[in-house]
Structure 1
Amino acid sequence: MTGAGGAAADLKGARVTVAGLGVSGVPAAKALHELGARVTVVNGIAGDKQRAEAAELDALGIAVRLGDAAAGLPDGTDLVVTTPGWKPTSPLFAAAAQAGLEVWGDVELAWRLRGPDAAPWLAVTGTNGKTTTTRMLASILEAEGLRTAAVGNIGVSLFDVVLGTREYDVLAVELSSYQLHWAPSPRPHSAVVLNLAPDHLDWHGSMAAYAADKGRVYNGNKVACVYNTADPETERLVREADVEEGCRAVGFTLDAPRVSELGVVDGVLVDRAFVADRQRSAQELAETSDIDPPAPHNIANALAAAALARAYGVGPAAVRDGLRAFRPDAHRIAEVAVLDGVRYVDDSKATNTHAAEASLAAYESVVWLAGGLAKGAAFDDLVRRAAPRLRGVVLFGADRALVREALARHAPQVPVVDLERTDTGAMAAAVAAARELASPGDTVLLAPACASMDMFTNYNVRGDMFADAVRALGSADTADTGDGR
């Protein structure tokens, strides 16, 4: 198969196996089919959702094999295109390697299908903060008047952009470690690794492999490799990257910036990287109060987005205006209500320990709701650092014992409520228990540090049920007092 821009012609008539359905597999299968490839989709799960997706593809003339029929590599396959969820150790890929076949991810395919005048990519990855930073970046680019979109792992298919008729000046592209693993070719204009912490190690096999896949985002960068000065591993990845001549390392920090960094001085975001005299001057970009919410990790996200935008030549006024216009997605440090002087905050998106630690650090006095699927994580470091601000903990979910044991070791003085129930009323019980532990001035914080699928469909449903339970408390208070206002 040829390189960027030349894959479309080669794919005509090629026998392509697409591994997986869902938000990546279905668009990939459709795109390949429209380019004239002979497509077979394989998916080991054969539930109602998968059968509906298979019926949609079958109507287009795309073959789909579900369940046991999906085992093995289809005869005559020329290329395998995989969705992010399939592990590198899957037998399908071993069979592809034995047959001498390439395996592309959806991002690799999209990159190779780009035309010669395609919009450059500003790429964002990291363990946490990817979606927020990507959307902040798109908001800043829009404020500059550029034609842009936030795409990739954020939920908007790259194929819609690459194969669509709309023209773009530049794209804000969120990339997961899964996608980067199968994407050796992309060469972004500039990129950032926001942070690195153990996550998805069951998929990657080791922390070193996970970090290496994240580091691919820096390969071929043209203008700036942006890194987090508080996370030395991100700078190490920059130093090891193979970039174009003249590409610079640009750091971001919550402290006063040094030369070639963006940082914060007296509540102002400032740039000492993309100014004419970096040694003696800095450019004010925005105030921390322009960021919603102005939690430390969200300010870091804003600095990373600003660095990528500045690398592309965006002016300081657009950085300020874009950050002011940005509103975070649901379930990301979202205040639900204040009841009896207690703030209730939904950060259900905090699905790993690194994200939960950042969330807990945003509040001084916390009643913490935690638990779910640990995904192999350990909780000692998280609990040790958070212990001084914990006023109580409510635990739920399959792996709550791991959190409880860490609390016993590092915060034995903190009261803990351990909920064994896993029915649909469990979240309401958790919120009620948290209310009993909280005092005026505290924050009841849902930042589970775990995945949600043991009890909930996804983190969105978990956050929605938390918010519903909090609002139900408020409604009950109104009814009890007879206050109909």
Structure 2
Amino acid sequence: MSTFAGQHVTVAGLGVSGISTARALARLGAHVTVVDGGSGERQQAHAAELAGDGVDVRLGDGTILPARTELVVTSPGWRPDHPLFAAADAAGVEVVGDVEVAWRLRGAAGPPWLAVTGTNGKTTTVRMLAAILSAAGLRTAAVGNIGTPLIDEVTAEPPHDVLAVELSSYQLHWAPSLRPHSAAVLNLAPDHLDWHGSMESYAADKGRIYQGNEVACVYNVADPATETLVRKADVTEGCRAVGFTLGPPAVSQLGVVDGILVDRAFVEDRQTQAQELAGVADVDPPAPHNIANALAAAALARAYGVPAHAVRDGLRDFRPDAHRIQHAGDVAGVRYVDDSKATNTHAAEASLAAYPSVVWIAGGLAKGATFDDLVRGAAPRLRGAVLIGADRQLIAEALARHAPDVPVVDLARTDTGAMAEAVREAARLARAGDTVLMAPACASMDMFTNYNERGDAFAAAVRDLADGRAGNEQ
């Protein structure tokens, strides 16, 4: 019988994970109440649907702990200092996340988890990993923060052989008993500090992914903070630290030699042997940070025992999601690239490093970020910049300090035609051989619904430019 049967559980939030959690727990015999501070049409529609599953939904106030609550399951976005959790703490009620529930439902006989976190690159790496596992003939799925709720997959029939799991810092914060087979932290840079309170707390939550690892803790050789998290982790005896690097690998590392991804970690004699896995050309796109993603995915797959040929075949089969350094078109010898997913400075830094001569479209909501380090590092590559969005002045000031000779176009408009104008201005600044790169280093919600809509607007503007219609929109 499920450990949740008969338990009174309060689920915080009517988002994707909250709805999935509520339904799963109700099916298992729990008495489920969902609380959400909203009361709009979307919430009311979800409440009506859940009522059919026997779930009680209380809209308009998410701060009151329902009577008889024995466990609170929070959605990832709810901050740790939310009044509901303070009430739970005062009542001696445990608060966990949907990932923790999924882990408990998995049980001792459930599919192993190969888990990935990091400030950037998580989704791409997890999808690469799933492609590699599938190429090895394994039943798998890319789940977690990638958009597919874990709870749905750990209870799937027939069961999976292994799961490729993307985990955010929010999810890790609320998953105290998680113990993956192997895990990777891709990189660490300041992000979501308003939620975590400090960089130290953010890093500590990321580091939870290594706790109890059985076979491999995968870290980024170029980012010493990730190795520090491995050193702090309490792992299963025999678990190894495995690094990935864009250079030739040392012992117990994966890396790159003469355009070949190679493994010196999961071979019989690590001192003298290396296994070829795939070519750099098998990675789409072959930008440096994406090669790093591929190496991390390969390391986790190899930790699970996947043969080398499956790494190659999986990487060849993989296609990146939209708006991640996606080629949007070529016009007059200029390449146009959509990296709308670069919503923070760390992601934009990686994107800018992939191209030698760039006209940069940037700006949006800075989320408290500063841009001096980003601009200082990118300055030699910048041919020009077009700035959009609410916090564009912060980027303009960094450009003035660290790249004063780079021409800058400041666009104040925030209507639907703003992106089209930004593309036109970028085209005016660009020369044949340049790349117009939309890597905003900011969130999108000041002008767009999300980064997808922002990327779609960029791609549409590039198509209009190619068709000769760009000058017609005012």
TM-score (norm. length: structure 2) = 0.98
Percentage identity across paired residues of the two chains: 74
What's 2:395 paired with? 403
Runs of 5+ in structure 1 lacking a partner? Answer: 1-7, 481-485
Which digits, 9 at most, give the CA deviation of each residue in 1:157-188, with x for residues without a partner? 11111122122111101101000000011111
Correspondence 1:376 to 2:374: no
What's 2:206 paired with? 214
Which digits, 9 at most, give the CA deviation of each residue in 1:380-402, with x for residues without a partner? 10000001101111111111111
Which digits, 9 at most, give the CA deviation of each residue in 1:425-444, with x for residues without a partner? 11111111111111111111
What's 1:3 paired with? none
2: distance between equivalents of 1:198 and 1:117? Answer: 37
Using the TM superposition, give the Cα deviation of residue 37 of structure 1 relative to its aligned residue in structure 2, in angstroms: 1.2
What's 2:306 paired with? 314
Using the TM superposition, give the Cα deviation of residue 477 of structure 1 relative to its aligned residue in structure 2, in angstroms: 6.0
Matches within 5 A, 1:125-140: 125-140=117-132
Which digits, 9 at most, give the CA deviation of each residue in 1:212-269, with x for residues without a partner? 0000000000000000000000000000000000000000000000000000011011
Using the TM superposition, give the Cα deviation of residue 473 of structure 1 relative to its aligned residue in structure 2, in angstroms: 1.2
Correspondence 1:267 to 2:259: yes
Which digits, 9 at most, give the CA deviation of each residue in 1:53-83, with x for residues without a partner? 222112322111222x333211221110000
2: distance between equivalents of 1:95 and 1:66? Answer: 18
2: distance between equivalents of 1:57 and 1:168? Answer: 27
Whether the aligned pair in 1 keeps the contact of 2:12 and 2:62 (CA below 8 Å) is no
What's 2:32 paired with? 39
What's 1:458 paired with? 450
What's 1:29 paired with? 22
1: distance between equivalents of 2:79 and 2:196? Answer: 8
What's 2:12 paired with? 19
- Other structure's SS at 1:64 match: strand
Match of 1:247, as an amino acid?
Answer: C
1: distance between equivalents of 2:2 and 2:334? Answer: 61
What's 2:141 paired with? 149
Match of 1:56, as an amino acid?
Answer: E
Whether the aligned pair in 1 keeps the contact of 2:461 and 2:470 (CA below 8 Å) is no
Matches within 5 A, 1:336-485: 336-476=328-468
Runs of 5+ in structure 2 lacking a partner? Answer: none
Match of 2:103, as an amino acid?
Answer: W
Whether the aligned pair in 1 keeps the contact of 2:63 and 2:82 (CA below 8 Å) is no
Using the TM superposition, give the Cα deviation of residue 479 of structure 1 relative to its aligned residue in structure 2, in angstroms: 11
2: distance between equivalents of 1:391 and 1:310? Answer: 41
2: distance between equivalents of 1:318 and 1:70? Answer: 47
- Other structure's SS at 1:173 match: strand
Using the TM superposition, give the Cα deviation of residue 478 of structure 1 relative to its aligned residue in structure 2, in angstroms: 11
- Other structure's SS at 2:330 match: strand
2: distance between equivalents of 1:255 and 1:115? Answer: 40
What's 1:4 paired with? none
What's 2:161 paired with? 169
Which digits, 9 at most, give the CA deviation of each residue in 1:412-471, with x for residues without a partner? 111111111111111111111111111111111110001111111110011001101110
TM-score (norm. length: structure 1) = 0.96
Correspondence 1:332 to 2:324: yes
What's 2:99 paired with? 107
Using the TM superposition, give the Cα deviation of residue 342 of structure 1 relative to its aligned residue in structure 2, in angstroms: 0.6
Matches within 5 A, 1:35-114: 35-67=28-60, 69-114=61-106
Greater mean deviation of Cα atoms: 214-223 or 429-438: 429-438
